Amino acid sequence: MPTAVDSRDVVARAIERDHEAFAELYRRFSPRVFRHVYYIVGTKHEADDLTSETFLRAWKAIDRYEDRGLSIEYWLLRIAHNTAAKYLKRRRPVISTGEIDIEADAGRSPERVLESSSQADAVRAAILRLRDTPRQVIVWRFLEDLSYDEVEKILGKSKATIRVIQYRALKQLRDLLEEPVSGVVSAPKGARRPLAVGHAG
């Protein structure tokens, strides 16, 4: 596990356009970048391409990176998220999750739901229907498991604002998961009440 000092040294050399240092950043952080974009776009091939594009963009901008409370890892993830979001706008996907029975369980949070493949499909489809900022808050908070302080640094919004966005986004997600829209997210007749996706706490 690299130390903080070691990481700062690698980043400093990468900023000076040291190819070996940047390759080390790729080795360390590309798996997490891939995981992030794979969740958003849904296919390995696209995630591979977008991971490569993320690091190409990062290389072009690396000399402008400054550690102002945002680590190089989260800087890369922010580039990855923006790259994937722009790709989605171009692709304009229609996500079909079929009829998925999402059981009510108020004790389960979004990140726990993501561990269940069938429920994850429904939740992912609903998340991708959110507007950009609410989607980012949900992804950063629950997929990446970041704190409010970390999300504040990434989005440049206050913790109070992020809490409000999260509360409204979770409410919208519950509504979307309850919405019997054919081809997007639906539950069979007689199914139990949809999952409570989380709370604002």
pTM of the predicted structure, to 2 decimals: 0.67
pLDDT digits (tens, 9 = 90+) for 16-34: 999 999 999 999 999 999 9
What is the secondary structure of 64-97 as a DSSP string?
Answer: G---SS--HHHHHHHHHHHHHHHHHHHH------
Q: Indicate which CATH number applies to the domain containing 69.
A: 1.10.1740.10
Residue 86 and residue 102 share a domain: no
pLDDT value of position 40 = 84
Residue 177 has which token pair?
A: 């998961």
- Phi, psi for residue 98 in degrees, rounded to 5: 65, -160
Chain centroid, CA 81 distance in Å: 7
Number of structural domains, the chain?
Answer: 2
Residue 127 and residue 140 share a domain: yes
The last residue of one of the domains, among 74, 91, 108, is 91
Residue 124 and residue 52 share a domain: no
Percent of the chain scored above 70 by pLDDT? 71
Residue 24 and residue 60 share a domain: yes
Domain of 80, in residue numbers? 4-91
Residue 121 and residue 196 share a domain: yes
Residue 102 and residue 201 share a domain: yes
